[in-house]
Amino acid sequence: MKPEILQEIPDALQMNKQLMERIMTDKGFEEFREYTRLDDLASALGTMKYSETVLKWIEDQVQQNQAFQNALQQIMGSDGANQKAGQQAAKALEDALEQNGQSLARSLKSAAEETVQTKENLKSLLGGVKAGSGDAELKKVPLRDQLKLAEHLSHDRKLKEIAEWAGRMKLIAQKKQRSKHQESINRSGIAMGDQVEMLLPTELASFASPRTKLDFLRRFAEGRTLQYDSKGKEQLGKGPIVLCLDQSSSMKSQDTISKGFALALMSIARRQRRDFTLILFSDRAREPKVYHHGKISVDDMIQLATTFLSGGTDFSNALQKALEVIQSSRFRQADVVFVTDGEDSVSDVFIKKWNELKQAKDFRVFSLLIGTEYDETVKLFSDRVVKASSFQDDTVHAAFEI
């Protein structure tokens, strides 16, 4: 909580001490400490970013300052045992800090900002749609895995973009789910129970009145007070959410945002404790990837970010794999989200089979058409078809109402 610099150190470490003193007296460092204190992830990320920044600054000084370069080479060549060499190097560093200390301070500020952004991106990738759940979700992931993903975020622009889109999409999904939850309360009627936040206003009035308070407490203890029934369509025991995501060549420009969309749907599955299945397809379909209760590992996250199929468009293979997933589930009421920007045909035989299982398993199909008006085929197997110019179109958000 209170790091201190040792005063008595060997001459060979004077340069290190100078740098640490300069860093720790910097105003930005004190502000950054408020963010990292008692936070393992932020502290580790900050340490790495600061270290990289300081080393880069030293390399720049070596290139720009011949005196500094000579002093550094001298102390390194003497293995740090030469007192005179150590003093010369310390003096050279002092001059460099005097001349270019502001550039170091600016770089450290950028390192701090990058640390904050990296942690926010991690929360976007690994967090759910529930408000304020990001930090709690991160703590469930081993620190080693958090740092592994953070390392990829630092060097993989695509993964960073996916994280940014996932963060935006999850905020929208959160609002959609909250609205749906409130509507389900209004529709579902009244039940008996002991959930304080769901009590009817008349019951709250009973608690507030001295005449009826004891009767209220007795009924509350027995779980017989009147409350809104919040179960509605939010009850557990529903089938998986199955996302069939088109990855044909024409979807390349939509790749990062489509994966942010996929992660937002996955977080809904996590909130509803439903399995989430991702089926990537083009002219072929990948084997379904099942994320139990919507939970994704760091390795799977990295794999998702680096996968793109390319090629043409074939609906049948993806739909057939979706059927297999639904058939294998012990639950009814699955939700299939079918996303494409292409056109294809599906046989009458398959549609008949699809509709028979649809009736038996009571699943629903939401199809999202990106940048295409052709909807004749998807209408054959969908309950609802929504058209959007791109994933940035607000109509896409209807998918988060599942």
Confidence of residue 132 (pLDDT cuts 50, 70, 90): low
Q: Are residues 206 and 60 in the same domain?
A: no
**For residues 367 and 384, is the Cβ–Cβ distance under 8 A?**
yes
Confidence of residue 259 (pLDDT cuts 50, 70, 90): very high
**Alpha-carbon separation of residue 339 from 70, 165, 391 (angstroms):** 62, 17, 10
Q: Once rounded to an integer, what is the mean pLDDT over residues 185-206? A: 78
Interatomic CA distance for residues 226 and 246, integer angstroms:
47
**For residues 169 and 254, is the Cβ–Cβ distance under 8 A?**
no
Q: Once rounded to an integer, what is the mean pLDDT over residues 175-194? A: 69
Whether the pLDDT of residue 73 is over 90: the answer is no
Interatomic CA distance for residues 8 and 140, integer angstroms:
42
Confidence of residue 244 (pLDDT cuts 50, 70, 90): very high
Q: Once rounded to an integer, what is the mean pLDDT over residues 73-94? A: 74
Whether the pLDDT of residue 199 is over 90: the answer is no
Q: Give the residue from 116, 135, 159 where a domain finishes.
A: 116
Confidence of residue 222 (pLDDT cuts 50, 70, 90): confident
Residue type, 377: T
For the chain, the average pLDDT equals 89
Confidence of residue 324 (pLDDT cuts 50, 70, 90): very high
Q: Are residues 222 and 346 in the same domain?
A: no
Q: Are residues 248 and 331 in the same domain?
A: yes
Q: Once rounded to an integer, what is the mean pLDDT over residues 20-45? A: 93
Q: Are residues 251 and 388 in the same domain?
A: yes
Q: Are residues 354 and 326 in the same domain?
A: yes
pLDDT recorded at residue 12: 74
- 66 or 52, which is more confident? 52
Whether the pLDDT of residue 231 is over 60: the answer is no
Q: Once rounded to an integer, what is the mean pLDDT over residues 322-337? A: 95
User: Does any domain span residue 389?
Assistant: yes
User: Does any domain span residue 233?
Assistant: no
User: Does any domain span residue 214?
Assistant: yes
Range with lowest mean pLDDT among 75-79, 225-229, 378-382: 75-79
Whether the pLDDT of residue 155 is over 80: the answer is yes
User: Does any domain span residue 154?
Assistant: no
Task: Looking at mean pLDDT, say which of 8-12, 26-30, 92-96, 321-325 comes out highest.
Answer: 321-325
Instruction: Give the pair of three-digit tokens for residue 274.
Output: 């439903």
SS3 label, residue 395: helix
Count how many domains the chain has: 3
pLDDT recorded at residue 235: 45
Q: Are residues 283 and 386 in the same domain?
A: yes
Q: Whose CA is closest to 244, among 147, 339, 122, 345?
A: 339
Q: Tokens 């003497």 map to which residue?
A: 78
Q: Are residues 213 and 310 in the same domain?
A: no
Q: Are residues 245 and 203 in the same domain?
A: no
Q: Are residues 347 and 283 in the same domain?
A: yes
Confidence of residue 92 (pLDDT cuts 50, 70, 90): confident
Question: How buried is 359 (Cβ within 10 angstroms: 0-12 exposed, 13-18 middle, 19+ buried)?
Answer: exposed
Q: Whose CA is closest to 156, among 298, 36, 272?
A: 298
pLDDT recorded at residue 145: 94
**For residues 53 and 108, is the Cβ–Cβ distance under 8 A?**
yes
pLDDT recorded at residue 338: 98
- What's the pTM value of the predicted model, to 2 decimals? 0.79
pLDDT recorded at residue 182: 56
Q: Give the residue from 87, 116, 145 where a domain finishes.
A: 116
Confidence of residue 211 (pLDDT cuts 50, 70, 90): very high
Range of the domain at 55: 11-116
Q: Give the residue from 95, 116, 137 where a domain finishes.
A: 116
Q: Are residues 340 and 378 in the same domain?
A: yes
